[in-house]
Each structure stands twice: as structure tokens, then as C-alpha cells.
Homo-oligomer: A and B are copies of this chain.
Amino acid sequence: MKKLGQELRKIRESKNILLRQVASYLEIDTAMISKVERGERRLNRQQVIKIAEYYNTKEEKLLTLWVCDKVLDVVENEPFAKKGMQKALKALEV
């Protein structure tokens, strides 16, 4: 769970960048990005794009994780999560 946060932390650590620096680039509080990396808070789409740029990472990769998290949030603790998601996927195919 919290795919995007995990990835962001991994990237940030591999680049030896501080939370403070990322926060400043995104113009948010350090506490906020800390929470994001631990899956406690979500970024919005623009912030994901901006951070992808900052990290020189494929936007698509991070946005995919971001969507994934949002979907998981919505279905968590839901017995029919899987069935519902499969139906939603099918709806997209059409």
C-alpha cells in the first residue's frame, strides 16, 4: 500500500536529497512531504508532475502509482473491491 510514497522515498534517498529540499521545491511544508512518503497524505496531480520533474523521473511512472493509490484508497476494506475494480476496468475498455 502507498505505492507512490514508497517510490518517492526510494528515489529521494538514492539521490541524497532532504525532505526540506523537496518541500521547498513543491512549496509545501516539510511535514507534508514526510506524510506523503509514509502514505499518510496524498499529493495532487500537479504536485506529482512537479516532483517527477524535480527527480528527473518519468511522469507516467509516478502518475500511475498516484492513480493506483487513489484507487486503493477508495476500495480499501471493501469486500467487493476486486469485483468492482474489474467491472470498472471493463467499463474503461469500452
Residues of A within 8 A of B (CB): 1, 3, 60, 63-75, 78-89, 91-92
Contacts of A69 in B (CB 8 A): 88
Count this chain's copies in the assembly: 2
Q: Which residue of B lies closest to A60 (CB)?
A: B80
Contacts of A60 in B (CB 8 A): 80, 83
Contacts of A63 in B (CB 8 A): 78-80, 84
Given A67-B78, A68-B88, A75-B88, 20 other A-B contacts at CB below 8 A?
A3-B87, A63-B79, A63-B80, A64-B84, A64-B87, A67-B75, A67-B80, A67-B85, A68-B91, A70-B84, A71-B71, A71-B85, A72-B88, A73-B74, A81-B92, A82-B89, A85-B85, A85-B92, A86-B89, A89-B89
